[in-house]
């Protein structure tokens, strides 16, 4: 019988790519999510019955343990960028991660891959980065042989980075950029999935790996690249720290005053803190080289999904070509 991997958060942005990778390797894949009926898009990744969504909440011991039953390996992709209700940074990225690792150890699972983030630091002023570091420690306490992946900003067709900024270009001539000079090392989502698959299959040493793509650039430069791809001209307005904090405070207050009806998916004070720190691979850190993976460039991927933000969508290139026609 083929081996089984349980992927917590396996229907999300990164998790779905890991699920597809593992299915292509012949593994059975159990996708543990809060709403299985909204995760049916993962089923075609394999043959009938190979990839199955199951109900699970990482804040509940029983459902976490049930999702692990019979698994040979486990991957934790559950994470949040913005707190909402009971799903806070600590409850999801610390307690949830520890709950999964504890259940995996109790079940005798030998391999675990945990998705963290570059910049994870237990002493960070950012609750996001602090909770990521504490989540790593919690996982290693129960599963010392776990593989920890720390990617930079992840890009791909379903990302919330380039897609979000590209969508904002439709709102006006100015593109606000808090932390415009902060450096990033964007990494393609399937490269991260490939690294995770190596951990699941035992093809990589258990360790902490920082994953960044071949290009390092400031946020301003990344936005300019995006604007070139989508054929739009916008003024990139770099926001000083105090202005970004003020804007984020207004949005956070609106969330508080509306009792969460306004979720503030725009900019939080915690995100402003993150944007003040360069998001690049540390000197001497293990990365793609240690895994034998050559990461792809942004230029080879971004045009494949950002075309929809062009003024005429898929017809923009046809129009450009038509301009060169002679009567």
Q: Per residue in 292-323, is it b (16+ CB within 10 Å) or e — as a string?
A: ebebeebeebbeebbbebbeeeeeeeeeeeee
Q: Is the pTM of this model over 0.85?
A: yes
pLDDT at 312: 85
Q: Which one-letter DSSP state was computed for residue 43? A: G
Rounded distance between C-alpha atoms, residue 236 and residue 153, angstroms: 19
| Residue for token pair 């390797």 | 25
Strand partners of residue 6: 30, 74
Is the CATH number 3.40.710.10 carried by domain 4-155+187-212+280-295? no
pLDDT digits over 66-100, tens only? 999 999 999 999 999 999 888 999 999 999 999 99
Domain positions in the chain are 4-155+187-212+280-295
Per-residue pLDDT averaged across 133-161, rounded? 97
pLDDT reported for residue 325: 65
Q: Is 7 helix (H, G, I), strand (E, B) or coil?
A: strand
SS3 237: strand
| Residue with the two structure tokens 């699970």 | 56
| Lookup: tokens for 142 | 């129960």
Question: In the beta sheet, which residues pair with residue 154?
Answer: 187
For 286-316, how does the pLDDT look when each residue is reduced to its tens digit (9 = 90+)? 999 999 999 999 999 999 999 999 998 887 7
Q: Which of 75, 73, 107, 94 is nearest to 141 (CA)?
A: 94
The whole-number average pLDDT for the span 110-130 is 97
How do strand 174-178 and strand 147-151 relate by DSSP bridges?
unpaired
């Amino acid at each position: 019988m083929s081996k089984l991997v349980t992927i917590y958060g396996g229907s999300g942005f990164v998790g779905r790519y890991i699920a597809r990778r593992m299915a292509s390797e012949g593994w059975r894949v159990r996708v543990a999510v809060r709403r299985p009926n909204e995760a049916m898009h993962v089923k075609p990744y394999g043959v009938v019955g190979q990839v199955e969504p199951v109900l699970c909440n990482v804040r509940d011991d029983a459902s976490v343990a049930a999702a692990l039953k019979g698994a040979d390996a486990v991957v934790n992709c559950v994470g949040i960028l913005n707190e909402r209700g009971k799903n806070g940074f600590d409850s999801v990225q610390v307690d949830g991660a520890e709950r999964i690792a504890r259940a995996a150890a109790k079940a005798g699972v030998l391999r675990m891959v945990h998705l963290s983030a570059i910049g994870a630091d237990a002493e960070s002023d950012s609750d996001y980065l602090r909770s990521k570091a504490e989540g790593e420690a919690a996982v290693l306490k129960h599963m010392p042989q776990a593989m920890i992946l720390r990617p930079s900003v992840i890009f791909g067709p379903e990302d919330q980075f380039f897609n979000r900024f590209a969508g904002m270009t439709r709102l006006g001539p100015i593109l606000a950029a808090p932390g415009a000079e902060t450096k990033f090392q964007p990494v393609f989502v399937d490269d991260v999935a490939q690294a995770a698959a190596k951990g699941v299959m035992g093809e990589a040493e258990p360790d902490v790996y920082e994953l960044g793509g071949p290009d390092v650039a400031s946020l301003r430069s990344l936005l300019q690249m995006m604007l070139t791809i989508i054929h739009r001209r916008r003024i990139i307005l770099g926001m000083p720290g105090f202005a970004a904090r003020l804007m984020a405070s207004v949005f956070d207050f609106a969330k508080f005053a509306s009792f969460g009806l306004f979720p503030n998916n725009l900019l939080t004070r915690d995100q402003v803190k993150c944007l003040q720190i360069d998001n690049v691979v540390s000197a001497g850190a293990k990365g793609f080289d240690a895994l034998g993976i050559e990461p792809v460039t942004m230029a080879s991927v971004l045009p494949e999904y950002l075309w929809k933000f062009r003024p005429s969508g898929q017809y923009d290139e046809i129009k450009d070509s038509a301009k060169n026609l002679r009567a």
